[in-house]
Amino acid sequence: MILYSWNVNGLRAAAGKGFHEWLETCGADVVGIQETKLQKDHENGFPEVHGYKTVFASSSVKKGYSGVGVYYRAEPLAVNAELPDPKFGGEGRLLHLEYPDFHFFTVYFPNGQMGPDRLEYKLGYYDAFLAHAQELRAKKPIVVCGDVNTAHTELDLKNAKSNEKTSGFLPVERAWLDTFVAAGYVDTFRMFEKDGGHYSWWDYRFQARARNVGWRIDYFFVSEELRPRVKRAWIESDVMGSDHCPVGLELDL
């Protein structure tokens, strides 16, 4: 089973930069996308891609903000949007598709750079997500993909030292990823690649992508029970269309 995740930084913009052409050829069974920036009445305004159905969750609190979606061939048993805690609803940050063998999440985790209040919200969202995932995991394994908005270790960004006080690489944010991993969630990319220099997001400024001055903030995690099923995990840094690139996962299911 081939799964992808991609922060498209505006689905309408990405559609004009080859998103659907990429989707036609990537061979995915399920593609989770983040930061669609759609409004509810725009969700059906995209060309159909042969073989895929779609589901979206858009922000109800601000236009052109946040939003996630899933393109899928494999029919889910159920689809849910947002976390159960209403404090973390309304921004269109999560879709949950239940499959026979696992729960699939695509999540656009909050960014903490807008100030202390948003950092607190981000950390609260992290904790609420982990609690929800653990509750579901009691019955079925978990696959979670998306823009986590945090680089976990110094290997996961180009300029670690100069970003130690920047949200996205703060000790408290990285500590939550330590907690997540300790709870039994596997960073699948790190199963296959132990070195640095592999990124999924580059600032549009300063020719950052051309110079590969980036951050790895887009992930596929699986709960430990699925580790033996992971065949490969990768980053498609050559795929354009956003300031992020697609990341992929293949499971033997």
What is the distance between the terminal CA atoms of the chain, rounded to a whole angstrom?
Answer: 6
Residues designated catalytic: 147
DSSP 16-29: TTTHHHHHHHH--S
Cα separation, 45 vs 20, whole angstroms:
13
Return the HEC string of 52-75: CEEEEECCCCCCCCCCEEEEECCC
What is residue 154's DSSP assignment? G
Q: Which of 242, 252, 177 is nearest to 16 (CA)?
A: 242
